């Protein structure tokens, strides 16, 4: 008698593949997916057909007119089914071809395709923080039920059974992302115990959003297998504990060339003029995290930080020793917009 794992590990005929279509649900944070069989292998996203789903079940369409069409936009290797099977990042449209209101990728893609934007080769590096929770009690992994661990301090980049909980999940996600073709550049334990971070990038333009959401999907699937819940909530535990964000490092070609520091300063000035609009677009719950404590600015305050960095550098100034990054301390909820 075959075991379930035997069936899951079956090698499929290469004449057919499984494509997992992935899209963002109505909340802007939930990830949905469904699979279909296709002739394979598929080499380019343009070779994939559009598909559809019931938008009334995802908060993206009314019950009386519920069909939503998903357009394939990016392909990644499937680390779960492996072989020639693929993950497909999609965005969402009406049957008439209009982007639905929750489709933030559509407008972002238009901006990134403009010649003046494409010529600047915008780089993004995103540091995605997240928290692992015990499934039945929704309390951080490793924390005593109805209790707390010792205060923050030893957990950031920590090692040991009393400091780093969930490392196997984190490492499985790291390798799965590399296998998938995601440009994941690193991982580390974060300040609050049970909290971790992965970094995606540098990526150019719209690819940064596609790759981040693919990495989030893979993390959701791995925690599903492990029986653990992952949350991207900005402040999952109230009190004297760090929150979780998606810090976004950014630069353009002009910023990386000689004289780029002046371009960076001008960009910072422009960001400051649109602070309220940006905060409003970055997702719910950030007012609980951006309090001016726990390594953040106050949500109402636009601040500038100039530092020397030795890794993940996206903006290089006149000399090799003088480097600057633009860091937006926000919870990234949708694709990045250039405003």
Residue range 110-127, pLDDT digits in tens: 999 999 999 999 999 999
Q: Is the dihedral of CA 92, 97, 101, 107 positive or negative?
A: positive
Q: What is the percent of the chain with per-residue pLDDT over 70, rounded to a whole number? A: 89
The residue-averaged pLDDT of 174-179 equals 98
Angle at alpha carbon of residue 167, lines to 165 and 171, rounded to 5°:
165
Q: Kindly report, residue by residue over 185-217, the tens digit of the pLDDT.
A: 999 999 999 999 999 999 999 999 999 999 999
Write the CB contacts of 47 (distance below 8 Å, at least 6 apart in sequence): none
Which of 18-32, 276-290, 300-314, 325-339 reaches the highest mean pLDDT?
A: 18-32
Whether the per-residue pLDDT at 49 is higher than 60: the answer is yes
Select from 116, 100, 89, 96 the least CA-distant residue to 21: 89
Q: What is the pLDDT of residue 305?
A: 64
Burial string for 106-117 (b: 16+ CB within 10 Å, else e) reads bebbebbeeeee
At 289, the pLDDT band (50, 70, 90 cuts) reads confident
Instruction: State the average pLDDT for the chain.
Output: 88
């Amino acid at each position: 008698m075959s075991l379930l794992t035997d069936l899951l590990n079956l090698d499929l005929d290469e004449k057919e593949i499984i494509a997992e279509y992935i899209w963002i649900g109505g909340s802007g944070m939930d990830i949905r997916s469904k699979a279909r069989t296709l002739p394979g292998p598929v080499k380019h996203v343009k070779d994939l057909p559009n598909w559809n789903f019931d938008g009334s079940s995802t908060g993206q369409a009314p019950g009386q007119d519920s069909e939503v069409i998903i357009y394939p936009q990016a392909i990644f290797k499937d680390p779960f089914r492996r072989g020639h099977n693929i993950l497909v990042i999609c965005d969402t449209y009406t049957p008439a071809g209009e982007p639905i209101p929750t489709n933030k990728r559509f407008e972002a893609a238009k901006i990134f395709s403009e010649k003046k934007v494409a010529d600047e080769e915008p780089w993004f590096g995103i540091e995605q923080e997240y928290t692992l929770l015990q499934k039945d009690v929704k309390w951080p992994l490793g924390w005593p039920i109805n209790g707390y661990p010792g205060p923050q301090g030893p957990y950031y980049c920590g090692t040991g059974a009393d400091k780093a909980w969930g490392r196997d999940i984190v490492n499985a996600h790291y390798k799965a992302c590399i296998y998938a073709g995601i440009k994941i550049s690193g991982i580390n334990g974060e300040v609050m115990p049970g909290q971790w971070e992965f970094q995606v990038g540098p990526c150019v333009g719209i690819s940064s959003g596609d790759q981040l959401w693919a990495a989030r999907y893979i993390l959701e699937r791995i925690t599903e297998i492990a029986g653990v819940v992952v949350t991207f909530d900005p402040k999952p535990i109230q009190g004297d504990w760090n929150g979780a964000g998606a810090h976004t490092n950014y630069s353009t070609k002009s910023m990386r060339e000689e004289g780029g520091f002046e371009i960076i300063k001008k960009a910072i000035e422009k960001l400051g003029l649109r602070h309220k609009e940006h905060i409003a677009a970055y997702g719910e719950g950030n007012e609980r995290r951006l309090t001016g404590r726990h390594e953040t600015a106050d949500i109402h305050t636009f601040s500038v930080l100039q530092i020397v960095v030795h890794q993940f550098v996206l903006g290089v100034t006149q000399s090799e020793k003088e480097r600057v990054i633009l860091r937006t301390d926000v919870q990234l909820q949708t694709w990045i917009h250039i405003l």
